[in-house]
Amino acid sequence: MVKKFINDRITRLLQIKALKLSFTLILSVLYFQPAFSQESSPGDIPSDEASIAAGKATFQELCTVCHAVDKRVVGPALMNVYERRDLPWIISFVKNSQKVISSGDPYAVALYNEYNKTQMSNFDYLSDEEIINIVAYIKHETDNPATPQAAASEDAAAGGAEAVEQGGIPSQYLTAILAGLLVILVIILGVLMLIISVLTKYLKDKKDLDEESQELVAQKLDFGKFFTSSGFLGLMIFLFAAVAFKSVIDGLYTVGVQQNYEPTQPIAFSHALHAGEYEIDCNYCHTGVMKSKNANIPSANICMNCHGQILTESPEIAKIYKALDYDKRTQTYGPNQKPIEWVRIHNLPDLAYFNHSQHVKVGGIECQTCHGEIQEMTVVKQHANLTMGWCIDCHRQTDVNTVGNKYYDQLVELHEASNKNQLKVKDIGGLECSKCHY
Ligand code: HEC
Ligand code: HEC
Ligand code: HEC
Ligand code: HEC
Ligand code: HEC
Ligand code: HEC
């Protein structure tokens, strides 16, 4: 009996194993199929994650300014480019496109003319391997196109994570929660009233109550008397005074604070389009962030790197041409140039000193921490309140980014000897008046 049972178990186990094995086999065949069929395509495009990740990094650093995988930007969509051209051609074109074009390669010449003779930059400093990695990334993106839905949910997740990280409840939720609590309180009050009236009615019908209890039951709640009592009036006056006092103080604190300031700009320039959809690096336009105090607003010449060719008929782009006194037929610039008058949004008073490169380059802080999700804004809006309290709060809470920064090595050692907390900005003088005030 027992033996049969054990035998049964073993056969079942073996069956499961066999099932699993064949399943793995099917999966691996499915998985490797693209790899087999790839052999017919020229050259070897790696498909391992490391190459793809390396390619992605290079692509985003150097190419997204002009290319996207799935759509035309300044240059063509690069989807399937490894099928249009072979690897050696792509490598030589990326290294020096002008050389390929001037050699008379008919494909390159046709492409060059199709793109109004826009010159692609030379990347002769890239190695063959680096370029092959870019192609690996392009192939990966071609095979697995990102769905907008996935991206959106990723964004939502990131947003949620941010809210958790900041450790606070967003104010709109707070209001909703308070309103919810109020509704619950009113319902509880209603139910209590109902219970009281039912009980009173029940007790009134009862005859065998003593006198005291009868009096209590007969007693009515006298609202008129309650509202005119001095205790109630005193409480109300106190509450009113407290609310008024707090709003005056709050009002005073916001003098000169321009949070959520969102002026209309002279040209309908959209970060959602440029930095979001086309993923142009912030650095490409705000050229100072990494190396100086000011981030800089780009000059119209930077716009012309692209708008010399794209959307030349748009009335908004015509404003750029006007500022540069540019004639799009002759493609020449005239003498009557004047800067575009962008409306400044973020502006600290002159008494405060703030330096971008210190925060972005040395501190490793993302633009979004201070400026919000700029890449989703059609019109830029001031995200933080830029008060002294805001600067100080962050300096109290933020760890100094000391990794790989020799400048801090000794300081970290000294700090760790006397203190078990991480080195914060406040420990390096981030709360000293003279660091921020001239
Ligand atoms: C300044 C803009 C610009 C940058 C930056 C740029 N490209 Fe291009 N690229 C172009 C243009 C424009 C073309 C179309 C051909 C021409 O006009 O020379 C092109 C064409 C190509 C082609 C041929 C596409 C086809 O359909 O056959 C490849 C491949 C290519 N680029 C790869 C790259 C890679 C890889 C990078 C980054 C390392 C890069 N490009 C960076 C503008 C650019
Ligand atoms: C194609 C060029 C371009 C790119 C890319 C770009 N910006 Fe801008 N940015 C501008 C221009 C032009 C303005 C001025 C007009 C405006 O406010 O919209 C500006 C304004 C701003 C301002 C407000 C400046 C003020 O007046 O206080 C901030 C903050 C900003 N950008 C941050 C970013 C961040 C962060 C990124 C990257 C995610 C980025 N920008 C990418 C061109 C660009
Ligand atoms: C790296 C390339 C690039 C740069 C630099 C660039 N743009 Fe653009 N811009 C684009 C692309 C791509 C589009 C969208 C084209 C489309 O929708 O077909 C666009 C669209 C626009 C539009 C929308 C116009 C319309 O009629 O819909 C405006 C306005 C604009 N850009 C202004 C600017 C300004 C101002 C600058 C300089 C601060 C600038 N752009 C710099 C690539 C660029
Ligand atoms: C630690 C917070 C912080 C970070 C991080 C930060 N900024 Fe700023 N940014 C500010 C403050 C504060 C101002 C106002 C400066 C002033 O008025 O002197 C400002 C102003 C600006 C301006 C207006 C023009 C100027 O040069 O002052 C631009 C553009 C800008 N930031 C872009 C960026 C970009 C792009 C990044 C990311 C690469 C970035 N910022 C990262 C706090 C920050
Ligand atoms: C999001 C966090 C954050 C905000 C907001 C912030 N800072 Fe900082 N700040 C840092 C970090 C991190 C460092 C340290 C950078 C480093 O390693 O040198 C720093 C360093 C500094 C320093 C140099 C301190 C020193 O001892 O070397 C000054 C000055 C400064 N910040 C000014 C400001 C001002 C002014 C504001 C507000 C307008 C501000 N910061 C807002 C994070 C922040
Ligand atoms: C991390 C940077 C930072 C430090 C440290 C700092 N401040 Fe400030 N302070 C600011 C900024 C930014 C403003 C402007 C805020 C605004 O416009 O609302 C400011 C505003 C002020 C103002 C208000 C000026 C006015 O006209 O409204 C006074 C006063 C002041 N600071 C004094 C001090 C003193 C005293 C200390 C040292 C105990 C100090 N601050 C340390 C960044 C700093």
Q: What is the pLDDT of residues 197-249, one digit of tens each?
A: 888 888 877 777 777 777 777 766 666 777 788 888 999 999 999 999 988 88
381 falls within a domain:
no
Report the pLDDT value the prediction gives residue 421, as an integer from 0 to 100. Answer: 80
Q: Is the Cβ–Cβ distance between 44 and 53 less than 8 Å?
A: no
Q: Which residues line ligand 1 (CB under 6 A)?
A: 62-63, 65-67, 74-76, 78, 81, 84-85, 90, 93-94, 97, 111-112, 115, 118, 120-121, 123, 134
10-residue averages of pLDDT along the chain (438 residues): 48 43 38 38 77 92 86 88 91 92 90 84 88 93 71 44 44 81 93 89 78 73 75 91 89 76 91 92 92 92 89 90 90 89 92 94 92 94 92 92 82 81 86 91
Contacts of residue 209, Cβ cutoff 8 Å, sequence gap at least 6 = 203, 217
Q: Is the Cβ–Cβ distance between 43 and 85 less than 8 Å?
A: no
243 falls within a domain:
yes
Which SS3 state, helix, strand or coil, does residue 41 take?
coil
Nearest ligand, CA 348: 4
108 falls within a domain:
yes
Q: Are both 142 and 53 inside the same structural domain?
A: yes
Q: Are both 68 and 119 inside the same structural domain?
A: yes
7 falls within a domain:
yes
Sequence letter at residue 255:
V
Q: Are both 63 and 142 inside the same structural domain?
A: yes
Q: Phi/psi of residue 296, each to 5°?
A: 75, 140
- Residues of the domain holding 20: 1-37
371 falls within a domain:
no
Report the pLDDT value the prediction gives residue 412, as an integer from 0 to 100. Answer: 83
Report the pLDDT value the prediction gives residue 225, as an integer from 0 to 100. Answer: 75
344 CB within 6 A, ligand 2:
yes
Q: Which atom of ligand 5 approaches the CA of 352 most closely?
A: 35
Q: Are both 120 and 59 inside the same structural domain?
A: yes
For ligand 1, pick from 66, 71, 114, 119 the residue to mutate: most ligand atoms within 8 Å of CB. Answer: 66
Cα three-residue angle 214-218-219, rounded to 5 degrees = 115
435 CB within 6 A, ligand 6:
yes
**Separation of 336 CA from ligand 2 center, angstroms?**
25
Write the DSSP symbol of residue 60: I
244 falls within a domain:
yes
301 falls within a domain:
no
Report the pLDDT value the prediction gives residue 396, as an integer from 0 to 100. Answer: 92
Q: Are both 228 and 210 inside the same structural domain?
A: no
Residue owning tokens 């008129």? 224
**Separation of 381 CA from ligand 6 center, angstroms?**
23
Q: Are both 80 and 138 inside the same structural domain?
A: yes
31 falls within a domain:
yes
Distance CA 152, CA 256 (A): 36
Q: Which atom of ligand 3 approaches the CA of 300 most closely?
A: 37
Report the pLDDT value the prediction gives residue 220, as an integer from 0 to 100. Answer: 65
**Separation of 352 CA from ligand 6 center, angstroms?**
7
Q: Are both 191 and 251 inside the same structural domain?
A: no
Q: Which atom of ligand 4 approaches the CA of 391 most closely?
A: 1
Name the domain count of the chain. 4
